[in-house]
Amino acid sequence: MKTHTPSPRQIPLDDAWDVVVVGGGPAGCAAAAAAARDGARTLLIEATGALGGMGTGGLVPSWTPFTDKQRFIYGGIARHVFETCRAGMPHIAPDACDWVPIDPELLKRIYDDLVLDAGARVLFNTHLSAVERDPATDRVNAIIVTNKSGLSALAARVFVDCTGDADLCAWAGAPFQKGDADGGRLMPATHCFIFSNVDTGALAAGPLLHFSNPDSPIYLIARDNKNYPLLDDTHICHSVLGPRTVGFNAGHIWEVDNTRPETVSDALIRGRKMAAQFLAALKEHCPDAFGEAFLAATAPLMGIRETRRIDGDYTLTLDDYIARRGFADEIARNCYYIDIHWAKDAVPLDHDTQNAWEQSCMHYGAGESHGIPCRCLMPRQLANVLVAGRAISCDQAVQSSIRVMPACLSTGEAAGTAAAMAAQRDGDIRKVDTSALRLRLAGAGAWLPGLPAGLIKPNPLNPTHQKT
Which pLDDT score is estimated for 99?
A: 96
Tens of pLDDT, residues 394-412: 999 999 999 999 999 999 9
Phi (first) and psi of residue 365, to 5 degrees: -85, 170
Confidence of residue 205 (pLDDT cuts 50, 70, 90): confident
Distance, CA of 264 to CA of 261 (rounded, Å): 5
Phi (first) and psi of residue 269, to 5 degrees: -65, -45
Which pLDDT score is estimated for 215?
A: 83
Tens of pLDDT, residues 267-315: 999 999 999 999 999 999 999 999 999 999 999 999 999 999 999 999 9
Collapsing DSSP to helix, strand or coil, 151 comes out as strand
Confidence of residue 348 (pLDDT cuts 50, 70, 90): low
- Identify the CA nearest to 249 among candidates 289, 286, 278: 278
Confidence of residue 253 (pLDDT cuts 50, 70, 90): very high
Which pLDDT score is estimated for 206?
A: 79
Q: CA distances (Å), 402 to each of 224, 305, 425, 468, in order?
A: 35, 11, 30, 33
Average pLDDT rounded to a whole number, residues 186-192: 97
pLDDT at 360 over 80: no
Our CA angle for 307, 111, 452, nearest 5°, is: 90
pLDDT at 183 over 90: no
Which pLDDT score is estimated for 349?
A: 45
Which pLDDT score is estimated for 9?
A: 65
Contact 61, 102 (CB under 8 A): yes
Which pLDDT score is estimated for 226?
A: 84
Average pLDDT rounded to a whole number, residues 210-225: 83
Contact 36, 91 (CB under 8 A): no
Confidence of residue 466 (pLDDT cuts 50, 70, 90): very low
pTM for this structure?
Answer: 0.94
Average pLDDT rounded to a whole number, residues 190-209: 92
Tens of pLDDT, residues 93-143: 999 999 999 999 999 999 999 999 999 999 999 999 999 999 999 999 999
Distance, CA of 319 to CA of 82 (rounded, Å): 30
Report how far Cα 247 is from the mean position of its chain's Cα atoms.
18
- Identify the CA nearest to 186 among candidates 305, 334, 101: 305
Average pLDDT rounded to a whole number, residues 148-168: 98
Which pLDDT score is estimated for 346?
A: 66
Which pLDDT score is estimated for 351?
A: 46
Report how far Cα 457 is from the mean position of its chain's Cα atoms.
24
